Structure 1
Amino acid sequence: MAALSLRRPVNPGVEGPGADFYATATTAWLKLLAEQPARILGQQVSYWGETLRHFAETQQAMARGQFTPPPQDLPKDRRFSNPLWESHPFFSFVRRQYFINADAMEKAAYDLEIDDVIERRRVEWFTRQIIDMMAPTNFLATNPDALEKAVATEGESLVQGLENLVRDVEQNGGEIVVSLADRNAFTVGENIGTTEGTVVARTHLYELIQYKPSTPQVHAVPVVMFPPWINKYYILDLKPQNSLIKWIVDQGFTLYVVAWKNPDVSYADTGMDDYVLAYLEVMDRIQDLTGEQKVNAVGYCIAGTTLALTLALLKKRGDDRVNSATFFTTLTDFADQGEFTTYLQDDFVDGIEGEVKDNGILPASLMTRTFSFLRANDLVWGPAVRSYMLGETPPAFDLLFWNGDGTNLPGRMAVEYLRGLCQKNAFVGEGYDVLGERVRISDVTLPLCAIACETDHIAPWRDSWRGIAQMASTDRTFVLSESGHIAGIINPPSKKKYGHYTSDAGFGGESEDWLKQGQYHEGSWWNGWGEWLAKRSGGLVEPRDPGEGFGPAPGEFVHERA
Structure 2
Amino acid sequence: MADKGKTTAGKDGAETSSSPADAYIVRNPEAFARNVARMLEGLGKAASAWVEPREKGEVVDTVSEPMADMVKTFSKVGEYWLSDPKRALEAQTSLLTGYFDMWSQSVKRMSGEDESPKPKTGDKRFSDPDWENNPFFEFLKNAYFITSDWANKLVDDSEGLDEHTRHKAAFYVRQITSALSPANFLATNPELYKEMVASNGENLVKGMQMLAEDIAAGKGELRLRQSDASKFKVGENVAVSPGKVIAQNEVCQIIQYEPSTETVLKRPLLIVPPWINKFYILDLNPKKSFIKWAVDQGHTVFVISWVNPDQRHATKDWEAYSREGISFALDTVEKATGEREVNAIGYCVGGTLLAATLALHAQEKDSRIATATFFTTQTDFTYAGDLKVFVDEAQIASIESAMQKNGYLDGSKMATAFNMLRASDLIWPYVVNNYLKGKDPMPFDLLYWNSDATRMPAANHSYYLRNCYLENNLSQGKMELAGRTLKLGDIKIPIYNLAAKEDHIAPARSAYIGGKLLGGEVTYVMAGSGHIAGVVNPPEAGKYQFWSDGPQNAEFEDWVAGARETPGSWWPHWHNWIREGSNEEVPARKPGGKKLKPIEDAPGSYVRSRV
Fold similarity call, TM over 0.5? yes
1:161–1:389 Cα contact (<8 Å) kept: yes
Alpha carbons of 1:161 and 1:440: their partners in 2 closer, same or farther (altered >3 Å)? same
Q: Does 1:294 align with 2:344?
A: no
> Higher mean Cα deviation, 89-98 or 518-527?
89-98
Q: Which residue of 1 aligns with 2:421?
A: 374
Take 2:421 and 2:135, find their aligned partners in 1: how far apart are those partners?
33
Q: Which residue of 2 aligns with 1:183?
A: 229
1:68–1:87 Cα contact (<8 Å) kept: no
Alpha carbons of 1:442 and 1:17: their partners in 2 closer, same or farther (altered >3 Å)? farther
CA deviation vs aligned residue, 1:167-208 (integer Å, no higher than 9, x gap)? 111111111231000111111111111111000001111110
1:18–1:347 Cα contact (<8 Å) kept: no
Q: Which residue of 2 aligns with 1:552?
A: 601
Q: Which residue of 1 aligns with 2:220?
A: 174
Identity level (%) = 37
**For 1:498, which of 544, 563, 574 is the aligned residue?**
544
**For 1:405, which of 437, 442, 452 is the aligned residue?**
452
Q: How far apart are residue 410 of structure 1 and its match?
A: 0.4
Q: Which residue of 2 aligns with 1:139?
A: 185
Alpha carbons of 1:534 and 1:17: their partners in 2 closer, same or farther (altered >3 Å)? farther
The amino acid that maps onto 1:495 is A
Alpha carbons of 1:373 and 1:27: their partners in 2 closer, same or farther (altered >3 Å)? closer
CA deviation vs aligned residue, 1:491-519 (integer Å, no higher than 9, x gap)? 1111111111111522x221122222211
Alpha carbons of 1:89 and 1:519: their partners in 2 closer, same or farther (altered >3 Å)? same
Q: Which residue of 1 aligns with 2:157?
A: 111
Take 1:61 and 1:432, find their aligned partners in 2: how far apart are those partners?
63
Count of matched residue pairs = 556
Secondary structure of 1:199's counterpart equals strand
Superposition pairs of residues 105-504 of structure 1, within 5 angstroms: 105-277=151-323, 278-473=325-520, 475-504=521-550
The amino acid that maps onto 1:332 is T
Take 1:56 and 1:157, find their aligned partners in 2: how far apart are those partners?
37
Give me the TM-score of the superposition, normalised by structure 2. Answer: 0.87
1:222–1:295 Cα contact (<8 Å) kept: yes
The amino acid that maps onto 2:606 is F
Q: Which residue of 1 aligns with 2:576?
A: 531
Secondary structure of 1:505's counterpart equals coil
Q: Which residue of 1 aligns with 2:585?
A: 540
Take 2:234 and 2:493, find their aligned partners in 1: how far apart are those partners?
35
Q: Does 1:16 align with 2:66?
A: yes
Q: How far apart are residue 211 of structure 1 and its match?
A: 0.4
**For 1:81, which of 78, 102, 127 is the aligned residue?**
127
CA deviation vs aligned residue, 1:507-536 (integer Å, no higher than 9, x gap)? x22112222221111111111111111233
Q: How far apart are residue 112 of structure 1 and its match?
A: 2.4
Take 2:109 and 2:563, find their aligned partners in 1: how far apart are those partners?
54
Q: How far apart are residue 220 of structure 1 and its match?
A: 1.1
Take 2:137 and 2:116, find their aligned partners in 1: how far apart are those partners?
13
Q: How far apart are residue 416 of structure 1 and its match?
A: 0.5
**For 1:39, which of 64, 76, 87 is the aligned residue?**
87
Q: How far apart are residue 368 of structure 1 and its match?
A: 0.6
Take 1:60 and 1:251, find their aligned partners in 2: how far apart are those partners?
64
> Higher mean Cα deviation, 336-345 or 207-216?
336-345
Q: How far apart are residue 108 of structure 1 and its match?
A: 2.5
Task: Give the number of the structure whose alpha-carbon radius of gyration is greater.
Answer: 2
Once superposed, what is the RMSD of the aligned Cα atoms?
2.1
Take 1:341 and 1:240, find their aligned partners in 2: how far apart are those partners?
35
CA deviation vs aligned residue, 1:98-153 (integer Å, no higher than 9, x gap)? 12221222233333223311111111211121111110011111111111111222
Q: Does 1:94 align with 2:144?
A: no
Q: Which residue of 1 aligns with 2:78?
A: 29
CA deviation vs aligned residue, 1:21-60 (integer Å, no higher than 9, x gap)? 64454245334433x3112112212323433554566568
Unaligned runs of 5+ in 2: 1-46
Alpha carbons of 1:500 and 1:43: their partners in 2 closer, same or farther (altered >3 Å)? same
2:388–2:469 Cα contact (<8 Å) kept: no
Take 2:410 and 2:275, find their aligned partners in 1: how far apart are those partners?
13
1:454–1:484 Cα contact (<8 Å) kept: yes
Take 1:461 and 1:51, find their aligned partners in 2: how far apart are those partners?
38
Q: How far apart are residue 162 of structure 1 and its match?
A: 0.9
1:67–1:89 Cα contact (<8 Å) kept: no
The amino acid that maps onto 1:16 is P
Unaligned runs of 5+ in 1: none
1:183–1:401 Cα contact (<8 Å) kept: yes
Q: Which structure has more RCO (C-alpha within 8 Å, separation ≥ 6)?
A: 1
> Higher mean Cα deviation, 536-545 or 266-275?
536-545
The amino acid that maps onto 1:557 is Y
1:195–1:237 Cα contact (<8 Å) kept: yes
The amino acid that maps onto 1:39 is R
